[in-house]
Amino acid sequence: MGGSQTAVSSGLRAGTAGDLSQILNMLQMNEGEFLRFLQNQVASGSRFGGSLFNILRGAYHASDSQNLRSDILQFLKQYSDYSSTGHIEDNLLRSLNRITASLPRSWGAQVVNFIAQLQNSMQSGDRAGALKLLQGQILTYLSDYVSRSHDMGRVRSALSMLTLDIARYENGSQEGVLQALRQLFNYSSLRDALGGDPRGAGDAVLLQMLKNTPFERFGRNNAFADQLASAADLALRGSAGPEAQEQFQAMVSSMLVNESVYMTVNHYILPLVWNDRMMYSEMWVDPDADRDADQPFGQRDGARTLRFLLKADIQSLGLFDIVVTSRGNSVDLAVRCPDSVAPFSEVIRGSLTGILSDNGLNVGSVDVGKMVRPLTVSEIFPKIFDGKDSINVRA
């Protein structure tokens, strides 16, 4: 990305925690409960986790075979669409409802009928029937409307998005993803890594292999995410007052940027009540912070560099920025704190140094000081603009 660059910032501002406390009934957690909560968030935050995807990741990095790499990428694309089936179906129905609202009544009535048929096919698990309806009737009908009416505005734009979702829906069929997986088993290196020959396995066995991932175990039933989405919906409708609405608008805007497939660092949200204080945090993690064009996997001496940015707004204290850089057993730490906490910087520095040492880590620099301005995500992770990273696809 050349020329001027866009700074990627968090949606978090001082005061967020106080507003959230009026809306969310956040979990009261002790240290053990918080650790489990964080582990579940991390596990459900990545679609490509678990033993199978670890094997594929290792094979992709180690192989010189362009065919193997292409087949791995093809499988990942199909698996991403397959595992996003519910989300894609919601998008399809939502797009059609929006299109209906923009059509003249004489055209919209037929689309309403199409939507009812489509819902029936989706609810019965008839993906082939849904695709036949979408591709054979709905697209044809809407394209005919655009052609006749010369509608180059909202309907045409929505139709373009609908077409993309239909392509993803077709790409994510169960048959297609199983075929792509079986194609991978033709490579002996992958069979060796799996510890057996799964080429003769039935569909049920392979589907169970795909379901044996942290995302499937935790991501499908994420009560925290559901609760946060409900609270955001309530606030954005204005039910919690203008201040809460403004805060949630900033938060949702930040989430849309940070959960984009073009954001190459992992992103987590951690609201909780800690020691009777409301705390709202966002965390960004780059597990390969030293990766560059010459060392694409960031393991020059066998150790990766991990970099964390944690932003925490603690009720009655204010906003904190914490940057952690870890390589092997060595850790560097930088903390920027609000005015009310800055006078205790040396005490905090000593405590953090002790915590790192007590946990067997080699302490590098520990810098604690007053926050001059909030850090942006893009200045801590500048490579999100350098065009060198692959896309970290997460839904």
Q: What CA–CA distances, in Å, run from 224 to 49, 81, 196, 218?
A: 20, 24, 38, 11
Residue 75 identity: F
As given in the structure block, the two tokens for residue 228 are 């946060």
Whether 394 is in a domain gets the answer no
Domain shared by 75 and 131, yes or no: yes
Among 111-125, 261-275, 302-316, the range scoring the smallest mean pLDDT is 261-275
As given in the structure block, the two tokens for residue 320 are 């904190």
As given in the structure block, the two tokens for residue 216 are 């499937």
- In percent, how much of the chain has pLDDT > 70? 72
Q: Quick one: pLDDT band at residue 385, thresholds 50, 70, 90? A: low
The candidate with the shortest Cα–Cα distance to 202, out of 232, 172, 181, is: 181
Mapping DSSP to helix (H, G, I), strand (E, B) and coil, where does residue 170 land?
Answer: helix
Whether 5 is in a domain gets the answer no
Is the confidence at residue 370, as pLDDT, over 70?
A: yes
Domain boundary among 168, 183, 212: 212
pLDDT at 35: 67
Domain shared by 291 and 327, yes or no: yes
pLDDT at 119: 95
Among 170-174, 328-332, 334-338, 383-387, the range scoring the smallest mean pLDDT is 383-387
Whether 168 is in a domain gets the answer yes
Q: What CA–CA distances, in Å, run from 314 to 35, 166, 270, 276?
A: 18, 44, 12, 10
Domain shared by 62 and 198, yes or no: yes
Measured distance CA(349)–CA(365) in Å, rounded? 10
Mean pLDDT to the nearest integer, 302-329 = 88
The DSSP 8-state label assigned to residue 28 in this structure reads: B
Looking at the structure of the chain, the number of domains it has is: 2
Domain shared by 270 and 381, yes or no: yes
Whether 85 is in a domain gets the answer yes
Domain shared by 34 and 72, yes or no: no
Mapping DSSP to helix (H, G, I), strand (E, B) and coil, where does residue 136 land?
Answer: helix
Buried b (16+ CB within 10 A) or exposed e, 268-283: bbbbbbbeeebbbbbb
The DSSP 8-state label assigned to residue 123 in this structure reads: H
CA dihedral for 228, 230, 233, 237, sign (positive or negative): negative
Mapping DSSP to helix (H, G, I), strand (E, B) and coil, where does residue 284 land?
Answer: strand
Domain shared by 330 and 262, yes or no: yes
Mean pLDDT to the nearest integer, 51-73 = 89
Domain encompassing residue 66 = 48-212
Whether 57 is in a domain gets the answer yes
pLDDT at 130: 96
137-171 residue pLDDT tens = 999 999 988 888 876 678 888 888 899 999 999 99
8-17, 179-188, 271-280, range with greatest mean pLDDT? 179-188
Domain boundary among 147, 179, 212: 212
pLDDT at 71: 94
Domain shared by 39 and 55, yes or no: no
Q: What residue spans of 289-389 are helical by DSSP H?
A: 345-358, 377-380
As given in the structure block, the two tokens for residue 342 are 């800055």
Q: Is 209 left (phi over 0), alpha (psi -120 to 50) or beta?
A: alpha
As given in the structure block, the two tokens for residue 110 are 């037929």
Is the confidence at residue 219, as pLDDT, over 70?
A: no
The DSSP 8-state label assigned to residue 387 in this structure reads: S
227-280 residue pLDDT tens = 666 667 767 766 666 776 777 777 676 666 655 555 667 888 777 777 777 788
State pTM to two decimals. Answer: 0.63
Domain shared by 184 and 273, yes or no: no
Whether 235 is in a domain gets the answer yes
Domain shared by 40 and 56, yes or no: no
Mean pLDDT to the nearest integer, 206-233 = 71
Buried b (16+ CB within 10 A) or exposed e, 241-250: eeebbebbeb
Helix axes 223-236, 31-45, angle to 10 degrees: 80
Domain shared by 162 and 237, yes or no: no
Domain shared by 70 and 145, yes or no: yes
The candidate with the shortest Cα–Cα distance to 323, out of 311, 314, 341, is: 311
Q: Are 118 and 96 in contact (CB under 8 A)?
A: yes
Q: Are 135 and 167 in contact (CB under 8 A)?
A: no
Domain shared by 350 and 374, yes or no: yes
Domain boundary among 212, 238, 265: 212
Whether 10 is in a domain gets the answer no
Neighbours of 63 (CB within 10 A): 15
